[in-house]
Amino acid sequence: MQGTQEQAVTGSRRWVRLAIGAAVVAALATGCGQADQVAGPAPSATSQQAPAAQGGQQPQADPGKTPGTVRLPAGGSAKLVAEDVGADGALVIPQSLDEAAWWGSGLGADKGVTLFSGHVNWKGKTGPFNQLWQVKAGQVVTVTDTAGAQWGYRVDDVRTIHKSGLAAESEKLFSPDGPHRLVLVTCGGDYVGGTEGYDDNRVATAELVTRP
């Protein structure tokens, strides 16, 4: 599988759709394809501090800090671009190999997924998210927030999931509820073309271990 996922992606847009739960949105588009449309603005709550509780009200959950860049264990890095899921359920992945999409919670949030997704390659060039194919459990992904502070997330699970099996994993991987975690996604496996692009996704899940 590793050799075939090195192919260049050219031509029309190629999407991989990851269902992330009906309570959130119908689907999330991510992976290795050409991004030729623009998603809506990302929710501003991810970059704001929760307001102080008043009276007997419960304090709101901390949405976390805005991520700025991600560095994978092998050294590849990408600037993170906040993207929201559009009405069609699609999250556009920046076409630049130097950028990756960010969706969900901020760094160190009280709960929920922080999702980063980038292209495995682009027009014959390999991107930093290709390194997800070499990532192993126990390695640390470093994320720098927009204030320059660093956060460390230790990888605890790395899997290759066929696209036909992603729906069954959606609630666990992409839910905005539950414990806070970082999920990184790219494409790979056999190149099948069409709207699918590649037939697999590489998914790494990591837990927060160091904070500023």
In this structure, the dihedral spanned by the alpha carbons of residues 73, 74, 80 and 85, taken in order and rounded to 10 degrees, is -80
What span, in angstroms and rounded, lies between the C-alpha atoms of 63 and 46? 5
What span, in angstroms and rounded, lies between the C-alpha atoms of 51 and 56? 14
- Confidence at 84, pLDDT banded by 50, 70, 90: confident
Q: Where exactly are the structural domains of the chain?
A: 4-36+64-210
Q: What's the mean pLDDT when you consider all of the chain? A: 76
Q: What is the DSSP string of the chain?
A: -TTGGGS---SS---EEE---TTT-S-EEESSS---S-PPPPPGGGGSPPPPP-TTPPPPPP--BPEEEEE-TTS-EEEEEE----TTS--PPPSSTTEEEEEE--BT-SSSEEEEE--SEETTEE-GGGGGGT--TT-EEEEEETTS-EEEEEEEEEEEEEGGGHHHHHHHHH-SSSS-EEEEEEEEEEEEETTTEEEEEEEEEEEEEE--
Q: What is the pLDDT of residues 45-54, one digit of tens each?
A: 333 333 344 5
Q: What is the pLDDT of residues 119-134, one digit of tens each?
A: 898 888 999 999 999 9
Q: What is the CATH number of domain 4-36+64-210?
A: 2.40.260.10
Across 55-64, 146-155, 171-180, which has the greatest mean pLDDT? 146-155
